[in-house]
Every structure is written in structure tokens, then in C-alpha cells.
Chains A and B, each alone.
Chain A
Amino acid sequence: MLLEIEKLTTVFRTRRGVVRAVDNVTMSINKGEFVSIVGESGCGKSTLAHSVMRLIDPPGEISGGKITFDGVDLLSLSDEEMRKIRGSKIGMVFQNPMTSLDPLEKVGDQISETIMEHMDVTKKEAWQMAREMLEKVGLQPERVDSYPHQLSGGQRQRVMIAMAISLNPKLLIADEPTTALDVIVQEKIMDFLEDMKREGRAVMLITHDFALAAERSDRIAVMYAGWLVEMGDAETLTNDPLHPYTKGLIQSVPDVWMDKDIKPLPGFPPDLINPPEGCRFRPRCSNASEMCMKEPPEVEVDGRVVKCWLYG
């Protein structure tokens, strides 16, 4: 097991109250596995990714649980030790590449600086590596001399990926990497993420797009209101979802190739400061019963984990 997340809880202490953005989440990713975390905005999927990178700033805080990466307990590391892991062992790509690139520095400088920070190489060697990385993500190596504003959104995102993989990480976390991009560019970036997997790296993709996750992942984890509500093999989970939320979400999204009966999910996602009592999906669930006033257990059904009383 490459990454093991056990009973992880990340909270944000706001003036209005405590938000349990990630609430008691347990999951794992194997070496060379492509896992997608699917859910809507506010479900905690991004917070989960940031928690793994230990990039949670106050008023947020990892308040419980354990994260083990490649045998190392990440939450016990010093900031300095964690900084070394970030980048070299775990790479991360964010949604908006423009905010994570320095507009005043050439792309080559930015990539080679990352390389030099973690590896004992000369500047010349680092630049050469930067060229190779750009070529690898499908850009011309001459792009090392470009400034971010000279690149399109898709090209910038590829630069981010080049930077993230320049140190040969074992795990790449991609947080909505293509949300701001057109489908054609998205397709190319996703192809590239799949290549990474073929090289034996693990990929953790955070997305709100169920079809995208279904197309690309080995396994899918579905999050709702801070909970992991279902996780399992991508194909089985999408063809035969167990949790009423997974079912409802799949039924509510249109598909370009399918004639299907689109059924809107009723209601809204809950306010996490005042989540509904018992199951957090209860107010929107057509299967809700008396039982659901208590928090449902996480049970295993045919190799899948599902947090619902229907299976408890």
C-alpha cells in the first residue's frame, strides 16, 4: 500500500462554528493505481488532498487520524521533513495554474528551481531536465524560455504537471486539474495522467465530473458532506452504485452517448456547520427511514465500502 489514510478528520474553526470538512475518512491507494475522489464543491475532496500534502492552513487543522505514505507517518514529520516529501515523493497539480506559477519568471527557471531544491545538480543540468520534462508532457522543449503569460491555459497546466513530476514522485495528486479547460485539452491532460500510471506512479484525481472519473480510474471514492460514502472498483461502482447519493448523482448527469432518464437530485448539499442529524444525506434521500437518524456504519459489500443503513 502506497498511501493509507485512516480515520482522517480535518476541521475548520470558523466564527460560526466548527466545520468538519473531512470527517473520519479511511481509504488507501496502491502503487501504480489511479484513484478518483468524486464529489460536489464543499464535499471535502479538495481538503482531503490538501491534508495528505499537509497544506492545511489555520483556521483549518488536521484534528485526528493517520496518514501513512510509503511506510512513513506523515503527520509525525517536522515541517522541514514534510517539505522534502512534497514535490520529491508526492507531486501536486492544482486547478488554477496561473496562481501557482510565478508570472515574472521563465518556465525553465521555475522547473529547474524545484529540481535544484531537491536534487544535487548544477543549474545547467537542471535546465536540461526541465527541457526533458516539458517534452514529456507534450510541449516543445524551447518553452523553457517562455513566461507563463505567453502560454495558453492548457499549456500552463502541462507546465505545472512537468514541475510536479520533475522529481519523479511516486504519487501525483491532481486537484480538478482540467476544470478550467476545454474538453480537447482536458482529454490530452488526462491521457498524460494515465501514462503516469503506466509508469508505475499512483494518481489521485480530485474531480466533480463522474464520467471523467469513470473513464480513467481503477477505483472511485465518492464523498458527500465530509464523509466518504462509497468506494470501490470504478466499473462496478458506476454500473451498479450502492449508496443512494452515488445512484442519484449518476442519474442526474447527462451523458453524450446515452438516452437516459435524467432525474434531478432533490434538495441542496447541507451546511456543514449544522449538518443534519444522523446520515448527512438523509434530507435528500428517497430511501431515508427512522434508522437514518443515527450515523450509518461503513460496511463492506462485495469488496466495496459503503456508508449507508441500507447495507448495515
Chain B
Amino acid sequence: MLRVENLKKYFPVQKSALEVLLSRRRDFIRAVDGVSFEMKRGEVLSLVGESGCGKTTTGRIIVGLERPTGGKIYFKDKEITSLREEEQRKMRRYIQMVFQDPYASLNPRMKIGEHLVESLTIHGIAENEEAKEMAMSMLDRVGLPGEQFFTRMPYQLSGGQRQRVAIARAMILKPEFVVADEPVSMIDVSLRAAILDLLLSFRDEYNLSMLFITHDLSVARIVGDRIAVMYLGKIMEMGKTKEVIHEPKHPYTAALLSSVPSFVKKERKVEIIGDIANPIDIPSGCRYHPRCPFAREKCKKEEPELEGEEHSFACHFPLEGGF
């Protein structure tokens, strides 16, 4: 369904005019630094990591909101990063995104229903009355009765309701691939489960694949078939959700898991040292080594590759024993 190969995104660092005059070297933030993965039809992959790890940028490149610095993306065996604009637009109907902030993703001057109608019109799926009818029934489907909600304005809706509109707008195009970027992190706690349920119900109905970006491993546990853990622009570990959670191989995954608040008392704790490194100046060897309590000489020199079939990890000295 989707194959990402060695994806890279470097952002140039803004400099003052004086700095530009004094030095020729340009610094880059290596937001995404060689990410590869594959997804099957109907599969949900959770992309987890701390803020700044590159998970959102990865998602934005896939839906075409950013151009990659390097690497390739194949959607149904077709390379999509080098497509011309018009072809890209056609493709975009099938690859949709749900954003984190439901307050920023809707147009404050447009009626709720018009967001959906516009989506249909732009992609040439339906117009006028037909589009309106489709919008009405999609609003019903996401739990916002069309009769009541079509003519409302975004400000009249709560955060949870807005996120339902954003989901409806993406789903009305019957996409085959959806990137959901922290879709519940700004929603009231008691409403989160319902939003997740709604998203997953579309996965079942359309058999769509979903890249679910989250910093919250407890959410990843319930939504994802697989988990990929990112750190400083790279995937550190990837595998079946429960395997990664209960038998993490990478010390970073284990440290993340040790910090997640839980109702269950923790039996094992893996430490992490200091603060996240600067993405302009990525550490040598394994980029995690300055924070890793188990780092040895080799880790400072050689960068480990992501290796393994079902459960892969990029670590010279993987952990043994489970959580």
C-alpha cells in the first residue's frame, strides 16, 4: 500500500545577515534523517516519539504538505514524490490527513457543511445538491446530525465536535490512506475514546491504512497493529504493538515506556540521561548514545542499522527480558 524509502527532510537554519557574511557553512535541522517503512492495506501503524523527533514531518511529507530532501515514497507501487502538481492533486484524494488542532484546521468563516462540500468539489467528486446530500449523511455518520450541524459555524462547536468535522472532511473522499497527527491530544479526556472509535470505524469500513502519529504510548496500544518509535529523525524500533510494549529491545523505547503514567505499578525502570540532543548537531555513532545508560565504545563510533524482520531495532546491544 505504502512504502517509504530512506526519507529525509532537512530544514535550513535561519541565520542573520551578519552570520551569513561571516561563515559559509549552512546548518540544517535534520528533522527526518533516513526513515524507511512499509504499510499494508487496512493496517494502522503508530508513529511514536517525543516532540521534535520528526514524526509529524514524516506525516506531512507523505500527504504532500512538505517536499522531502531525499528518499522515495511509493503509494500502490507508484512513486509519488516526483509527480507533477496536477497528478499529485489527483493522488491527494486518496491520501488524507487529520490534524492535531481542531481550532486551526477549520475555516472560521465557513459553515460546517461547506467544509465537506468544498472537499468534494475540489476533487471533482460531486457538486451542488449531490455534494450537499453526501455531506449531510457524512455528518450523520460522524455523530453530528446534518440537519442540526450543516449550517453551524466552527465557533459554535466544541473541540471534540470540530475534530469530528475534520474527520468527516477527510473521510468523505473515501481515502485509502490517512495520516492522523495527534488527533486526540487536544480533546477533553472523556471524549477521546469516542474519537478514536470513530477513526477506527472508518478503517474497518473503507479498509484504509492509517499512520497514527502520537506521543502517547497508551493511545498507540489501542489503535495500532504496529508501532514505530522515532528518535532524532530515525526509527529506533518497529514491530507488533504488544511485542514492542512488552519486550522492547531498544533502550529508548524502554525509557519511554518507563515514563508513561499507568494504573499498573511499574516493575522495571530503564533510565534516560539528560535532555534531547540538538537536531542540528546529531551525535556520532548511535544518535541515542549520550542518553543511553548502556552505551559502550562501539555505540559512539558506529551507527546501528534498523535490522530484523517482524520486530526490528537499531541497537548494538539490545535489551533482553520483557516488561
B191 touches A211 (CB 8 A): no
State whether the Cβ of A104 lies closer than 8 Å to any Cβ in chain B.
Answer: no
A238 touches B193 (CB 8 A): no
The docked-state distance in angstroms from the alpha carbon of A155 to that of B189 is 27
A183 touches B188 (CB 8 A): no
Are A252 and B189 CB-contacts (below 8 A) given A183-B259, A186-B259, A187-B259?
Answer: yes
A95 to B: closest C-beta gap in Å:
14
Q: Name the one of A253, A254, A258 contacting B264, with C-beta atoms under 8 angstroms.
A: A258
A253 touches B193 (CB 8 A): yes
B241 to A: closest C-beta gap in Å:
10
Which parts of A282-306 form the interface with B (CB within 8 Å)?
none
Collect the chain B residues with CB atoms within 8 Å of residue A266's CB.
194
Collect the chain A residues with CB atoms within 8 Å of residue B196's CB.
262
- What 0/1 pattern do residues 16 to 55 of A give for CB contact below 8 A with B? 0000000000000000000000001100000000000000
The docked-state distance in angstroms from the alpha carbon of A31 to that of B222 is 39
A residues touching B (Cβ–Cβ < 8 Å)?
Answer: 40-41, 152, 154-155, 182-187, 208-212, 214-215, 238, 248-250, 252-258, 262-266, 268-269
A255 touches B264 (CB 8 A): yes
B residues touching A (Cβ–Cβ < 8 Å)?
Answer: 50-51, 158, 160-161, 188-194, 196-197, 215-219, 221-222, 245, 255-264, 272, 275-276, 323
B61 to A: closest C-beta gap in Å:
22
Are A209 and B51 CB-contacts (below 8 A) given A184-B272, A268-B191?
Answer: no
Closest to A179 in B: B185
Collect the chain B residues with CB atoms within 8 Å of residue A184's CB.
50, 255-256, 259, 272
Q: Name the one of B51, B160, B262 contacting A256, with C-beta atoms under 8 angstroms.
A: B262
The docked-state distance in angstroms from the alpha carbon of A212 to that of B266 is 13
The docked-state distance in angstroms from the alpha carbon of A187 to that of B261 is 8
Collect the chain A residues with CB atoms within 8 Å of residue B276's CB.
152
User: What are 23 residue pairs bridging A and B, where the CB atoms are less than 8 Å apart in the complex?
Assistant: A152-B275, A182-B51, A183-B256, A183-B261, A184-B50, A184-B272, A186-B261, A187-B258, A187-B259, A209-B261, A211-B218, A211-B261, A238-B263, A249-B189, A252-B190, A252-B193, A253-B193, A254-B193, A255-B218, A255-B221, A262-B196, A262-B222, A268-B161
Collect the chain A residues with CB atoms within 8 Å of residue B189's CB.
40, 208-210, 249, 252-253
Collect the chain A residues with CB atoms within 8 Å of residue B259's CB.
183-184, 186-187
B193 touches A265 (CB 8 A): yes
**Best-surrounded residue of A209, A212, A258, A266 (most CB of chain B within 10 A):** A258
Q: Name the one of A210, A212, A258, A265 contacting B194, with C-beta atoms under 8 angstroms.
A: A265
Closest to A245 in B: B190
A265 touches B275 (CB 8 A): no
B48 to A: closest C-beta gap in Å:
10
B173 to A: closest C-beta gap in Å:
25
Collect the chain B residues with CB atoms within 8 Å of residue A253's CB.
189, 192-193, 218
B263 touches A252 (CB 8 A): no
**Best-surrounded residue of A186, A249, A268 (most CB of chain B within 10 A):** A268
